Amino acid sequence: MYRVCGLIWTYNPDISLLRRTVEGALANVDYLLVVDNGSANREEIKSLLSIYSHTDVVFLPKNLGVAALDLGLRVLSRQCEWVLILDDDSIILQPNVVAEILDKYYSLPPIVRARIGVISISDLKSIPITLRQNLKRSPRETLIVHYEPAIFSGSIVKTEILHTDMLRINKNLFIDHADTDFFARLLKKGYMVTIYTKPLLKHRLGIPLSKPINLLFYKIESTTKPIRLYYVTRNATYLLIKRNITIIHYLLSIFRYAIPLFLEKPLITVRVVALGIIHGITGTLGVWETPLLK
């Protein structure tokens, strides 16, 4: 059994960026599995990965969203003690980062270690403002427990929790907020989610804006496509009803993308947010394709 495995899920990745993601991962894990969601540049991905050892790839016939991640976790949960999850544009900035973090973990008392289910590597940008401020006030190179929403990318998941509590990713969410839901259910089962205070991850969140939008204490630096805003709104609304997301995170997750998109495409923005709220309330999940979201 490997100690640490890496899991990268891809969808039409930028190959030069994927190369950096793969190399950053291989400098930190014993084995790497890439699960591709039906990318158009499949042959380029295959060619890139062929040059690396201890690496395998699974090509899915179409974009299955977070089902690809769930598949990868199920495969690796029988081969590794820990799984490092990365998006295809997330880069671990240094070698041996995971070993450094796990050294901190294994120095903790056994009773504390037993309750930790996930350790997140931070980039200080894709985390909630309150957690960001908490990290800045905390000593560097330490683990702190938090109850804020975390993202899959940069998460080091203890595979034991996948076996003992049968935790699975909700594939019906398709993409956005599947991580919010997973970690909320993890907390409800009594596990702790921790984060390493030293920022060691470079993660791209959305489509960068040429000019950031400053809203008092909050800066919006990226936008997204209408279809992604639909999934964000729908899934956040669904999780709010399930009490797996706080009202503050619910509003922030929608407005951070709705505001810049509204300035560019006001009518489409109103439509996708309204549709997302309706579908979230009615529990209409899964893949949703309609000209309304274009």
- Alpha helices in 110-246, H assignment, sequence order: 110-113, 129-137, 160-164, 178-188, 226-241
* CA angle centred on 222, ends 217 and 224, rounded to 5°: 130
Give per-residue pLDDT as tens, 90-113: 999 999 999 999 999 999 999 999
Band the pLDDT of 170: cuts 50, 70, 90.
Answer: very high
10, 74, 136, 277 from 283: Cα distances, Å:
27, 26, 38, 10
Give per-residue pLDDT as tens, 55-68: 999 999 999 999 99
Average pLDDT estimate for 184-190: 94
Look up residue 213 and give its two tokens: 């939008």
Short-list 93, 268, 90, CA closest to 179: 90
What pLDDT, on a 0 to 100 scale, did the predictor assign at position 271? 94
- Domains along the chain? 2-203 (3.90.550.10), 207-293 (no CATH)
What pLDDT, on a 0 to 100 scale, did the predictor assign at position 82? 98
CB atoms within 10 A of CB 275: 20
Which helix H or strand E contains 48, and what residues bound it? Answer: helix 42-49
Its pTM stands at: 0.91
Q: Is the distance from CB of 64 to CB of 98 less than 8 angstroms?
A: no
Cα–Cα distance measured from residue 177 to residue 153, given in angstroms and rounded to the nearest whole number: 12
CB atoms within 10 A of CB 263: 12
Position 94: which residue type?
Q
Band the pLDDT of 229: cuts 50, 70, 90.
Answer: very high
Cα–Cα distance measured from residue 217 to residue 215, given in angstroms and rounded to the nearest whole number: 6
Q: Does 190 score more than 80 pLDDT? A: yes
Residues 6+ apart with CB under 8 A from 209: 220, 221, 222, 223, 260
Output phi, psi for 24, to 5 deg. -65, -40
Band the pLDDT of 219: cuts 50, 70, 90.
Answer: low
Average pLDDT estimate for 252-264: 88
Q: Does 192 score more than 90 pLDDT? A: yes
Quick one: DSSP state of residue 290?
A: -
What pLDDT, on a 0 to 100 scale, did the predictor assign at position 133? 67
Q: Does 245 score more than 90 pLDDT? A: yes
Band the pLDDT of 278: cuts 50, 70, 90.
Answer: very high
What pLDDT, on a 0 to 100 scale, did the predictor assign at position 272? 94
Residues 6+ apart with CB under 8 A from 94: 27, 200
